Structure 1
Amino acid sequence: MDTFYPAEPHAFAVFLFATVILGGAASWATGRAVALTWKPLWQLVFYMGLMTLAVRFIHYALFHEVFLSLQHVGVDFVVLAAIAWLGYRQTRSRQMQSQYPWLFRRTGLISWQRRS
């Protein structure tokens, strides 16, 4: 983990708390909101960019980390975007199955399959 975040004593715990727990919950909710309003998936990129800046501010304000470091912003963006995508896909899967039950059936948590 030293290659992604600095080798400070509590760097991984800070990453888990600020990025994965706080930012992940907000990203999941954002992914759900985009799916519930039937907006396209590409809009998550813009929203996750804003969410990444908010999470980086939490790192900066609470834990005295660097605000805009390219590697930190990149790692945070990828983690938040992946969580948002999972929330989007799970919600969209439920929507497709409930909106078009004759055409789609649930096959798993984040996917749907066309009936043949």
Structure 2
Amino acid sequence: MQGLFFESDDGARVVIRAIVVLIGFWTAWRAGKAVADGWNNYPRAVVYTFLLAWAMQFLHHALFNGPMLSALYYGIDFVTLLVFSTAGFRSRRTNQMVNNYYWLYEKTSAFSWKDKH
């Protein structure tokens, strides 16, 4: 099986694969935060994640000889990266709302806020 999941890898390829995955997750998180920092809407984060998933698909192809045009692996990449980008977006937007409008909102979790009463 090719793409994200391989049945046999040597040690160096496993390390490189782990580094590529971590870089992808970190980049998705930062893309979500960047969209929120610019006070842009969530759909822009989805578009950036779409492009990032394409770049990750290319890295899988270039580094590990994975398929370049596989809808299944692209979907796996996109959904996984979307989770991280959404988390980055919601985390940053929550901090923005709570810190900039402290008289209106209070933090309820790392990803949400509520009105002060």
TM normalised by structure 2 equals 0.85
State the secondary structure of the residue aligned to 1:42. Answer: helix
Q: Distance in 2 between matches of 1:15 and 1:28?
A: 18
In structure 1, the partner of 2:55 is 54
Q: Distance in 1 between matches of 2:115 and 2:81?
A: 29
Q: Distance in 1 between matches of 2:63 and 2:6?
A: 18
TM normalised by structure 1 equals 0.86
Q: Distance in 2 between matches of 1:92 and 1:99?
A: 10
Checking the alignment, whether the CA contact within 8 Å between 2:30 and 2:85 is kept in structure 1 is yes
Q: Structure 1 pair 61/5, CA: closer, same or farther in 2 (3 Å)?
A: closer
Percent of aligned pairs with the same residue?
32
User: Is 2:81 aligned against 1:80?
Assistant: yes
Root mean square deviation, CA, Å: 1.9
State the 1:8 CA deviation.
Answer: 2.2
Runs (5+) with no aligned partner, structure 2? none
In structure 1, the partner of 2:37 is 36
Q: Structure 1 pair 32/112, CA: closer, same or farther in 2 (3 Å)?
A: same
In structure 1, the partner of 2:110 is 109
The number of residue pairs the alignment matches comes to 111
Q: What letter matches 1:34 in structure 2?
A: V
| Runs of 4+ more than 6 Å apart | none
Runs (5+) with no aligned partner, structure 1? none
Q: Distance in 2 between matches of 1:15 and 1:61?
A: 12
In structure 2, the partner of 1:18 is 20
